[in-house]
Structure 1
Amino acid sequence: MRSSSRSTPFRPSLICLALAAALQAGSAWAVEPFPVKDIRVEGLQRSDAGTVFASLPFRIGETYSDEKGAAALRALFATGLYKDVRIDIDGNVVVVIVEERPVIANIDFVGLKEFDKDQLVKSLRDFGISDGQPFDRALADRAEQELKRQYLTRSLYGAEVVTTVTPQERNRVNLSFTITEGSAAKISEIRINGNKAFSESTLTGLFDLNAGSWLNFYTKADRYSRAKLDADLETLRAYYLNRGYLEFNVESTQVAISPDKQDITVTINVKEGQPYTVSSVKLEGDYLGKEDDFKTLVQIKPGEPYRAETVTQTTRAMSDRFGTFGYAFAKVEARPEIDRVNGTVALAITADPARRVYVRRINVAGNTKTRDEVVRREFRQFESSWYDGRKIKLSRDRVDRLGYFSEVNIDTNEVPGSADQVDLVITIKEKATGNLQIGAGFSSADKLSLSGSIKQENVFGSGNYLGLELNTSKYSRTLVVSTIDPYFTVDGISRYIDVFYRTQRPINSQGEEYKLVTPGASIRFGVPFSEYDTVFFGIGFERTEIKGTNLPVNYRNYVTEFGPTSNSVPLTIGWSRDSRDSALVPTAGRLTSLNFDWGITGEAKYLRTNAKFQQYIPLSKRFTFGFNADLSWGKGLGGHPYPIFKNFYGGGLGSVRGFDQNSLGPVDVTGAYIGGNRRFNMNAELYLPIPGTGNDRTLRWFTYFDAGNVWGENDKVTADSIRASAGLGLTWVSPVGPLKISYGTPIRKKPEDRIQRLQFQIGTAF
């Protein structure tokens, strides 16, 4: 007698039908219960017999019955390992006969161009299709659909996927997906219906998606994506809500694709409603007796159009203010009362501070390398202190600015059984902080230069920095070994140590071969006087040697009087304050710094100072105005002239563009540009988005106005001596570093000036 069931491929419903049929067949299929003397498994090729035994609901010595046989079949099919399973009864021996499913030996893709292979392999793995897994035709069909779905996200609506299964030895198969990608469908038109207050071109100009931009080959902004469309619709909604259209609504969207699957038309139907003006703003609820304090946070003014963004900023600011008083769970809501007849809206801002809490414990999670103390020392919120939302945000920002982590999040958890306590959990995700770089750069001044560096910003998880840098620029060659201990003392005083060897070749017009060789070392300490202000103190040693023949007159005179070698021990005092939102692509904030170098002893005694001011002003979401002013001054001390090798230079990128690099200022009788002891630069730039790039700030063009010059000790600083230029340029945060290209025209110049209209460099700033 035997009990059997077949399923090819596996379908649980078929098993149930087969079992039901077997039970209805009566005693012809029934097996009298009997004690199992032995269990044999037949048909195994790869899987272990233990897998079969583990699925059986009976063991040797136990009683076998039809119910247990049916349960065994269900359990074995449920493993997904077997294409067919039978149970035969041979006397008191149960024989389990299995036919294993083939195993996937290899997955390959033919015709793949749009995606990286690893990306698709990971996507298929989520569907159970991967090397070493049992093959199921149904899963393969699902894999085809998943691959097509992936191509739909890239607007490749004509993509075709054909699956080929090739049997291999030992019941294995190779799985190959042959893909015909075709060309991407492109958005040919975006239409907006129902708009009256604003033109269609104005509204579609807000979108990241577009039709027909000349930069779409780079931005791919004409590739339709539902996620991108949803984001654009939110941008559209925000645009109306911030202009008084409180009842604006996107009623529907239609996406139509042409029969050849190459053109897409997007139609957006909107209902604008009427614009509303704020008639009044009142505070309701509990404001802890500090209504006057909270009123200063209200940015909504009666008589102005209703702006959703301003309302959100007000309620968020109030919630944050409650947080500074320890009310972590305060609720602040703005309730609009609409008067459609008069087109006004009265706002009632309701506050419920809930309960005041304090922080019981701060936990650090996710750090596998960085020590806890490196994270904790950045915290300004302390344990067993009242909850302060402002300090918590500051703590999170300080940890993020360390640069050791790709993600930094702080969660507030209530303490079970306590109404006035919370725990903070700061969850971090480590990232690689070691860096080995070998690169090349090209600039209009330096030509080809090679650079390399080995850096470790978080040595052994201690938060310390160690680095070796090398640069082979034509005019400035540098070898620097640096180390930084950001917490040299527990109070947060930082220590910087640099050992360097620099070779500089001043630019001149006669081609003289001479250079300045400067080995040296310095130690500096940074003392934080506030969360944003740091004062630096330091001392160093430098030895400068003027090498070469046929020196410019000023260099020859200096060597004649003081010799070719000069030693100096400079003291350094500096201050900086940086509130920019980004050091790489700033759009808001300010950078201010002031530095003094005082050569107190040696052959070179001098005082050298530099003051810098940068301000970035966001004119809109996509336009930024930047201003930079740089003032430098130097003077010789102790009866010595100012060392010529400490001169400042001007002209070119980083100074006054449109003039040849380092060509401004005094020129000696040989025509060499020798720089001066005074320098002034002023730069103004207006950053604008590249059409078609949306809000991408890594690629922008700009217009600029520069002014400045360099003066020697005997030169008179006059307005007439100021050089100026204007032009436009392109800035791009490229994979090899920030790239800046500018084309300018001098608008204030002298006949002897050297002009260079096109200039570019990788890694430059203002």
Structure 2
Amino acid sequence: MIKLKILLISVLSIVCTMAQAQVVGDIKIDGLQRLSQGGIYNALNFSKGDDVDSSMISQAIRRLYSTGNFEDIKIGWDNTNLIVKVIERPMIASITIDGNSLIPTEGLEQGMNGVGLREGEILKRSTVSEIEAELASQYALQGRYNAEVNVLIVPKPHNRIDLKIDIYEGPSVKIDHIEIVGNNKFHDDELLEVLTQRSVSDNPLVQMFNSKSKFNRQLFRADLEALRSFYLNNGYLNFDVESHQIMLSEDKNFVTLIVNIDEGEIFYLDEVTVAGDLQGLDDSINNLVTYTKGWSYSQRQIDLNIQRIQSLLDRYGYYYSSVRHNTIVDEVTKQVDVVLFVETGPKTYVRRIEVQGNTTTLDEVVRREFRQLEGTIATRASINRSQARIQALGFFKSAQIIPKPVPGRQDLIDIVIKVEEMFIGNIQAQLAWQPGGDVEFGFQFSKDNFLGTGKSLKTDLTWSEGASSTSISYSDPYFTKTGGSRSINFDLSKKDYSNISAGSYGFNSVDFGLGWGYPISEFERLNFNASITNTDLYTNLPAVEIRNFVDLYDDNIKTFNLRASYSYSSVNGALLADDGMSQSLSFYSTVPGSDIEYFSLSYNGQKYFKFNSKYSLRAHSRLAYGQTYKDEDLFPFYKTFKAGGMSTVRGYNQNSLGPKTSLSTVSVDGITSTVGGTPLGGNILVKAGLELLIPTPLIDESSTRTSLFIDFGNVFNQDCVDGNTTCMTKVNFEELRGSYGASLTWQLGPFPLAFVYAFPINKQDGDQFRNFVFGLGGAY
């Protein structure tokens, strides 16, 4: 009986289905705007004259939906005609984003592309909601809980739309209070110092400049890890952050952070052993391991031991070596044994070095700075030093070295050096200006990387009130294959101060010289120069010091000169260096037979103390001394050292510091004039200073340097004329002039711009000081 019922039901179902099927007389499509009817017919999978039932219609609807082109689809019968009604989803014609500053537009567009929200694509309503939620979440991670994201859909003809995304980022949420619960071993203040973020200050001035009180969820996570590291470095191996809460205020302007911790017990170091494949370096590696039994366990000390071992293995060519540590913890005795496990792998050699990005610079110019050579063992020290030398050339905005494994070989790597060339020279204009002060103009044709060969060709023309100079120089830093250099220079200078009320003299000087240089180590170099100089003096009512000099030597002076210098440099760049040190010691002397026999000795030094990737401290100094070989001779007044200006003590007028010429009264043709009082310079120079390099706000930091500085310096003259109260025969530190302020150097294409705003220290009556100084074509 049951089998009979089942059979009956099956027969009836087949009959009903057959009854529903009917022949399609015609197919009519309604609602298309952008799409063609051909796409609809292909998705239907049946045509006019076919038998069609409800299941075939359901399948056709599913296929049409799967194309993603339709918002709504309905298929029904009108007598024998099949009617297909569709509502198309609109196509995105354009997307505009407004109001974003924290998240760059490029970053937002990448996120939208990932979910198919881009121009030319079909708009899905769900995608818009996802974008709104995702962007709001991104802003919440940065502590902006009041951020709002609104997507406005603007219809256009032919079922197209414009998407306008308006973003209100809102203010940053401030941290009202940070509370750490569960700490017994360390005071709250000690633990709060470990954290990057800080609670908001009651002091409005501090609050204005304290960005650390702005809540950021990612920084908060990093702070929790910093707290964990602090305890691990003090022996608390079982430390744990049990939970944390972020409590948002009702107005969404403040958060309270609560961190619940379990400090655990302190553990002590018992034994440190080294295991693994040591490649016969057992003694050397074990000598690097430093620990003291009974000290509290410190993860930092273990990491330092690992770094020492890896550095040693790197020097032997084990480029892919690794050192892992395992701890054996005795929970009863609270002691820890540490095993440092060494995996060296095979020695790694450099198969090939490839230079990329150098459109004008020859490969040879880059390759000759490499201290990592093809066919030799690969060491990180050599690779890093190569990168520093290439960056120090000053030809490239950036230089990045990328080691790449050779497929199928563990003992070979290729090295790719990617450089971004910087416009070096050609034609430059230079302008130094101080409000109310003199203007100095310079025009320069130069090519520090001449024809991409690394050689330097330079012509200089400078002009300021009463002075001009022209020079041509050529230098080949690799005249020999071992790094010996050769240079040729020709200089023509003319100074005429006769039209300046503060002085009345001038001179023309011609100098021709040849130079040679030799490297004596990776960082050190010796340089030598021989030159001949002819100087013609002309005077018009000169000051006493100048008259005395002309009376002694006449107005034409020829000297034969020798210069020897030693230099050391490990700085990591040219204009925008922030690490390393450099110093030079130079001795200059005329040779016997010259009209004047004198010498000068000068020292220049600078050292960077790099704190992290953003902050460095630069200490710099310059000392110089010049004197004649004979007591009765006078040091040339036109060769004295000068102080004041962008290159010495910023803020003070160029060359304005130090002794002045004596005031005297001169009568010519019944006309009485007072001459003197012009800067004389001196045979002793003292200069020093500090600069704190800080991040540059709102500008690309790869081409800028911002610093807070303090400068000190002055010049002194031992050849003083009786009665000249501005001249002192010895160094007097009370007479040092100083300045402090802020400086910005910006490498804008070929033009380095320098902006200085300074305040004086120990300024005296008669000193010429300008707070704002602007320089084009030079930097401090």
- TM-score by length of structure 2 reads 0.72
CA apart distance, 1:611? 1.4
Q: Match of 1:221, SS?
A: helix
Q: Distance in 2 between matches of 1:247 and 1:445?
A: 68
Verify: 1:677 aligned to 2:683, yes or no: yes
Alpha-carbon displacement from aligned partner over 1:325-380 (angstroms, at most 9, x marks no partner): 23233332344455667766554433333333433444456666665444433333
User: Match of 2:420?
Assistant: 430
Q: Distance in 1 between matches of 2:422 and 2:414?
A: 26
Equivalent residue runs for 1:72-221 within 5 Å: 78=66, 80-83=68-71, 100-109=88-97, 120-121=108-109, 123-212=111-200, 214=205, 217=208, 220-221=211-212
CA apart distance, 1:261? 1.0
Pair 1:604–1:366, CA change in 2 (3 A): same
Equivalent residue runs for 1:32-47 within 5 Å: none
Q: Distance in 1 between matches of 2:238 and 2:423?
A: 49
Q: Distance in 2 between matches of 1:356 and 1:610?
A: 47
Pair 1:687–1:387, CA change in 2 (3 A): closer
CA apart distance, 1:648? 0.8
User: Match of 1:648?
Assistant: 641
- Answer with 258-267 or 581-590: which moved more: 581-590
Alpha-carbon displacement from aligned partner over 1:16-54 (angstroms, at most 9, x marks no partner): xxxxxxx999456768999xxx9999977656899889x
How many percent of aligned residue pairs carry the same amino acid?
Answer: 26
Q: Distance in 1 between matches of 2:536 and 2:307?
A: 60
Match of 1:255 among 246, 249, 254: 246
Pair 1:130–1:353, CA change in 2 (3 A): closer
Q: Distance in 2 between matches of 1:465 and 1:64?
A: 87
Unaligned stretches of 5+ residues in structure 2? 1-13, 664-675, 722-726, 747-752
Letter in 1 for 2:639: K
CA apart distance, 1:468? 7.8
CA apart distance, 1:413? 1.5
Equivalent residue runs for 1:25-424 within 5 Å: 26-27=17-18, 78=66, 80-83=68-71, 100-109=88-97, 120-121=108-109, 123-212=111-200, 214=205, 217=208, 220-274=211-265, 278=269, 280-300=271-291, 306-338=297-329, 345-364=336-355, 371-402=362-393, 404=396, 406=398, 408-416=400-408, 421-424=411-414
User: Match of 2:658?
Assistant: 664
Pair 1:486–1:231, CA change in 2 (3 A): farther
Q: Distance in 2 between matches of 1:432 and 1:516?
A: 38
Letter in 2 for 1:723: E
Q: Distance in 2 between matches of 1:241 and 1:528?
A: 47
Alpha-carbon displacement from aligned partner over 1:379-410 (angstroms, at most 9, x marks no partner): 33333333444333333443454562646243
CA apart distance, 1:204? 3.3
Equivalent residue runs for 1:584-595 within 5 Å: 589-595=580-586
Letter in 1 for 2:606: Q
Q: Distance in 1 between matches of 2:533 and 2:345?
A: 62
Q: Match of 2:372, SS?
A: coil
User: Match of 1:631?
Assistant: 623
CA apart distance, 1:317? 2.3
Query: Given that residues 589 and 615 in structure 1 are in contact (C-alpha distance below 8 angstroms), is that contact kept between their aligned partners in structure 2?
Result: yes
Pair 1:287–1:486, CA change in 2 (3 A): same
Q: Distance in 2 between matches of 1:80 and 1:233?
A: 45
Aligned length: 727
CA apart distance, 1:260? 0.8
Alpha-carbon displacement from aligned partner over 1:449-502 (angstroms, at most 9, x marks no partner): 778888877677655667788877779888877776554554444566777777
CA apart distance, 1:157? 1.6
Query: Given that residues 679 and 711 in structure 1 are in contact (C-alpha distance below 8 angstroms), is that contact kept between their aligned partners in structure 2?
Result: no
CA apart distance, 1:605? 6.6
Verify: 1:712 aligned to 2:718, yes or no: yes
Alpha-carbon displacement from aligned partner over 1:193-221 (angstroms, at most 9, x marks no partner): 33445443444344443333646655633
Query: Given that residues 659 and 753 in structure 1 are in contact (C-alpha distance below 8 angstroms), is that contact kept between their aligned partners in structure 2?
Result: no
Q: Distance in 2 between matches of 1:470 and 1:41?
A: 80
Aligned-residue CA RMSD (Å)? 5.7
Pair 1:358–1:156, CA change in 2 (3 A): closer
CA apart distance, 1:158? 1.4
Pair 1:174–1:479, CA change in 2 (3 A): farther
- Answer with 666-675 or 542-551: which moved more: 542-551
- Answer with 445-454 or 641-650: which moved more: 445-454
Q: Distance in 1 between matches of 2:65 and 2:573?
A: 58
Q: Match of 1:386, SS?
A: coil
Letter in 2 for 1:187: I
Match of 2:546 among 545, 549, 555: 555
User: Match of 1:721?
Assistant: 732
CA apart distance, 1:712? 2.9
Pair 1:212–1:325, CA change in 2 (3 A): same
Q: Distance in 2 between matches of 1:754 and 1:169?
A: 76
Letter in 1 for 2:322: K
Match of 1:613 among 587, 600, 605: 605
Q: Match of 2:381, SS?
A: helix
CA apart distance, 1:152? 3.0
Q: Match of 1:723, SS?
A: helix
Pair 1:610–1:226, CA change in 2 (3 A): same
Q: Match of 1:293, SS?
A: helix
CA apart distance, 1:222? 2.9
Query: Given that residues 461 and 471 in structure 2 are in contact (C-alpha distance below 8 angstroms), is that contact kept between their aligned partners in structure 1?
Result: yes
CA apart distance, 1:263? 1.0
Q: Distance in 2 between matches of 1:758 and 1:310?
A: 51
Letter in 1 for 2:641: F
- TM-score by length of structure 1 reads 0.74
Query: Given that residues 658 and 745 in structure 1 are in contact (C-alpha distance below 8 angstroms), is that contact kept between their aligned partners in structure 2?
Result: no
Query: Given that residues 745 and 779 in structure 2 are in contact (C-alpha distance below 8 angstroms), is that contact kept between their aligned partners in structure 1?
Result: no
Alpha-carbon displacement from aligned partner over 1:511-563 (angstroms, at most 9, x marks no partner): 34767777877665543332212333445677767688554332344456667
Q: Distance in 1 between matches of 2:455 and 2:115?
A: 44
Q: Match of 2:662, SS?
A: coil
Unaligned stretches of 5+ residues in structure 1? 1-22, 747-751
Q: Distance in 2 between matches of 1:535 and 1:59?
A: 90
